[in-house]
Structure 1
């Protein structure tokens, strides 16, 4: 795991790694990444009959350790059936609370991935929200961790990497979520 506190050189190296991945992205990867959260926003509105906040919350609640396609399937099914299923108990409980009308910010951990995934889907142009998942971590540290623990449950480690993405985004001239999404697309489509 990377340290929760690091030197300015380490922070600069993480930021540069994000920018290098951005710069290696093809035009198609950049287009896809820039549209990623806007597309997810439309899906959230569609599955929740126009209530984008609720749709984004259920998608985020059911996202942990699921592929995007499986995440979408579970969220769509939850709205169709009126109850969440197909995930671990905690995720199902959170999704069901959101389905019942509780605002996602009262249910999701708003300081780490799941809560910030909700924010980015609900507001694709948010000026500071960024999702640090295993791919975002691996991009920043220039190493594929595979099944190793990245320690992203630590708010300090999460914020360290989120700050690096925000710095990269300022230098690139994009919102952080788009930088994260473009680099994610480039990373998963790498040779």
Structure 2
């Protein structure tokens, strides 16, 4: 687990690793990564009958520890059936509250992964949010943690990695969510 308080050298190493993963992406991986949040945005609108905020909120609420394909299925099913199923109680409660009309920004932890995931899906051009999931962490630290705890619930640790993605994005000349998505695609498809 990375320290909550990191040195400048550590942050530089994390940023370098992110840029390295970006440059290792194939043209196809880059294309798909660039389209990732735009496609998720379209899905959010589709499953929620045009209400992107609600669709994005439910997708985000149901995203923790779920592969994207399963996340999409349980979110779509929640809207079809009017009740979320297939996840832990906390995630289901949040999804049900959002479907009932609660503002996702009042339901989700807006300073951590699910809240920031919501923001990226709701507005793929938003230049501020960065989703730090297990893959984003592993890219930055250049180590596959598997099932080990990454400690991303600690705001300092989360923000350190988010800042490294923002720094990498500035170096690349891209918005942070695109850098995160492209590196995510390259990372999960690594040899």
The TM-score range, normalised by the shorter chain, is over 0.9
- Cα distance in structure 2, aligned partners of 1:67 and 1:2: 24
* Residue 100 (structure 1) aligns with: 100
Alignment gaps of 5+ in structure 1: none
- Cα distance in structure 2, aligned partners of 1:66 and 1:145: 17
* Residue 109 (structure 1) aligns with: 109
1:122 equivalent to 2:116? Answer no
* Residue 141 (structure 2) aligns with: 141
- Cα distance in structure 2, aligned partners of 1:6 and 1:57: 32
* Residue 154 (structure 1) aligns with: 154
**Aligned to 1:86, what secondary structure does the other structure show?**
coil
The alignment yields a C-alpha RMSD, in angstroms, of 0.4
Q: Number of matched residues?
A: 191
Question: In the TM superposition, what whole-angstrom CA distance separates every residue of 1:35-74 from its partner, at most 9, and x where no partner exists?
Answer: 0000000000000010000000000000011010100000
Shift of 1:104: 0.2
* Residue 59 (structure 1) aligns with: 59
- Cα distance in structure 2, aligned partners of 1:90 and 1:73: 18
1:181 equivalent to 2:176? Answer no
- Cα distance in structure 2, aligned partners of 1:3 and 1:169: 22
Mapping of 1:80-91 within 5 angstroms? Answer: 80-91=80-91
- Cα distance in structure 2, aligned partners of 1:107 and 1:130: 18
Give runs of ≥4 in structure 1 deviating > 3 Å: none
TM-score, length basis structure 2: 0.99
Shift of 1:173: 0.8
- Cα distance in structure 1, aligned partners of 2:98 and 2:7: 40
Question: In the TM superposition, what whole-angstrom CA distance separates every residue of 1:152-189 from its partner, at most 9, and x where no partner exists?
Answer: 00011000000000000011011100000000000000
1:18 equivalent to 2:18? Answer yes
TM-score, length basis structure 1: 0.99
